[in-house]
Amino acid sequence: MTSEHESSPSDPSDEAVCKAELSTPAVGRLSLYYRELHRLIAAGEKSTNSRDLGQMVNVSPAVVRRDLSSVGSIGRRGVGYDVQLLAERIGAVLGSGVQWKAVLIGVGSLGNALLRYRGFERLGFSLAAAFDTDPAKYGREVGGTTVRPLDDLEAVLEKAKPELAILAVPSEQASEVAARVMAGGIQGILNFAPTTLRVPAGTAIINVDLASELQQLAFRIQNIRM
């Protein structure tokens, strides 16, 4: 049984306003709803509601409703949300219809894990190339991507025109590599090096620090104990 689904008028200027208003945590939650909706679709579910979605991603139904209304999706009382339509709507806002191309720099153990990680493709990301400075790794295929010499970086960026770069290099190399990918036209950097990269306006960056995540967890445990 399919439920009805209301969305805001598809005037692009409206959508632009709504996007600009989304906070970083809200975008993170939308990304999680999107993942859970695809799980529901795969399981053959047709509809869901703010309570169930909230339980899936650990937030209250009120937060779910606010997030979804901010992208123009209003659930109907007693009917809920059509999972397919809602996934499409969130996907459009998050840019998931688009096929994004990424390169990865640094094929150490983390780079290896990222190249083997299959979650990226599911969301429309493809890895165009991987780079390292260790000649022993050149030509090796990891998770379907061939490792190339870092010296080839500029030529590959020029030819493949990827939008994103994933940095899994040691801290001391991160700024230099970031400068090179930006000079080559990269618009967004996902940085796993444990150093905060600063980029000029016009380039997007997300720094992921694994040790910092563990530190935040330890902080929460301390708070629970008190």
Pull the structure tokens for residue 132: 């390292």
- CB nearer its own copies, residue 85 or residue 166: 166
Region of 61-69, 90-98, 128-136, 146-154 interacting with its own copies (CB under 8 A): 90-98
x-or-dash string of contact with its own copies, 51-80, rule CB under 8 A: ----xxxx----------------------
Q: In whole angstroms, what separates CA 110 from the centre of its chain?
A: 17
- CB nearer its own copies, residue 155 or residue 204: 204
Quick one: DSSP state of residue 77? T
Determine whether the annotation assigns residue 124 to a binding site: no
Q: Does position 43 bind its own copies by CB under 8 A? A: no
Interacting positions 139-178 with its own copies (CB under 8 A): 163-164, 166
Report d(CA 167, CA 173) in Å as an integer: 10
Q: Does position 224 bind its own copies by CB under 8 A? A: yes
Compute how many other C-beta atoms are within 10 angstroms of the C-beta atom of residue 79: 14
* DSSP reduced 3-state for 81: strand
Closest separation in Å from C-beta 107 to its own copies: 11
Identify the residue whose tokens are 């935040």. Answer: 216
Determine whether the annotation assigns residue 108 to a binding site: yes
Q: How far is CA 74 from CA 49, 55, 65, 157, in A?
A: 10, 18, 7, 41
- Annotated binding residues for NAD(+), written as ranges, equal 106-111
